[in-house]
Chain A
Amino acid sequence: DIVMTQSPDSLAVSLGERATINCKSSQSLFYSSNNKDCVAWYQQKPGQPPKLLIYWASTRQSGVPDRFSGSGSGTDFTLTINNPQPEDVAVYYCQQHYTTPWTFGQGTKVEIK
């Protein structure tokens, strides 16, 4: 199984700063059929289901604010939140959608100072 390892487990950022979450996969997630990496990022707020933010490593889902961006390739990926807002307090998960069993990172809890 592909292991997805996120870091850090939690972080607190101030308004106006940048939040960076890293995700490392145990093997390449490059999908040759479309030359993209099969990594998604989800946001989950308490008591709610996850919400898709980013897929194919860097494609922002429709309706997601542009302060959220994804980058990376191969086995190393990053979710960046520029100028995080109070409503961005949540747990963020990376996930590989390359092969079964689909696997998630352990989650990163983001708080605002």
Chain B
Amino acid sequence: EVRLVESGGGLVQPGGSLRLSCAASEFTFDSYWLSWVRQAPGKGLEWVANINQDGSAKYYVDSVKGRFSISRDNANNSLYLQMNSLRVEDTAVYYCARHSSGWFVAPIDIWGQGTLATVSS
């Protein structure tokens, strides 16, 4: 079964950092675009960032540019999100997600269960 498992969430003070990880299994990891999508408590979905198959192309939503960095390790089937200068409004469940093919426009077809990042003093 295709699987994505996130880890690394937790409680951090404003201005702090967190590094989220996502472990993938049962698919050819380096053939797919990957994304991070977040959901604040009781709110809707917000796409955060995505990365292409070899990590040479990365895109971010404006609200995290310069603070968050997406990366991947194809040798270890892992996706990461380094989150710096965290703000209270970054509090959310962060989902790791796979696009359905190698196309940039391929929709997300697989989601992890999510990891909660809470930014609070």
Contact = CB atoms under 8 A, between A and B. Distances in A.
Contacts of A1: 62
Contact-residue size bin, chain A (C-beta under 8 Å from the other chain): 20 to 34
B47 A102 contact: yes
Contacts of B60: 101
B60 to A, nearest CB: 8
A68 interface: no
Interface in A16-51: 31, 38, 40, 42, 44, 49-51
B106 to A, nearest CB: 7
Contacts of B107: 38, 40, 52, 55-56, 95, 97
Interface in B63-121: 95, 100, 105-109, 111-114
A49 B62 contact: no
Nearest to B46: A104
Given A93-B44, A98-B105, A104-B47, A49 B113 contact: yes
A55 B45 CA distance: 17
A103 interface: yes
Contact of A104 (B45, B50, B111, B114): B45
B27 interface: no
A107 interface: yes
B61 interface: yes
Given A52-B107, A52-B108, A100-B50, A93 B62 contact: no
B34 to A, nearest CB: 13
Of the candidates A31, A56, A97, A103, the one having the most CB atoms from chain B within 10 angstroms of its own CB is A97
B61 A55 contact: no
B35 interface: yes
Given A95-B107, A101-B62, 6 more contacts: A50-B45, A50-B108, A52-B109, A97-B108, A102-B35, A107-B45
Interface of B: 35, 44-47, 50, 59-62, 95, 100, 105-109, 111-114
8 closest pairs, A vs B, by CB? Answer: A49-B111, A102-B47, A55-B107, A100-B59, A40-B107, A101-B61, A97-B107, A104-B45
Interface of A: 1, 31, 38, 40, 42, 44, 49-52, 55-56, 61, 93, 95, 97-98, 100-107
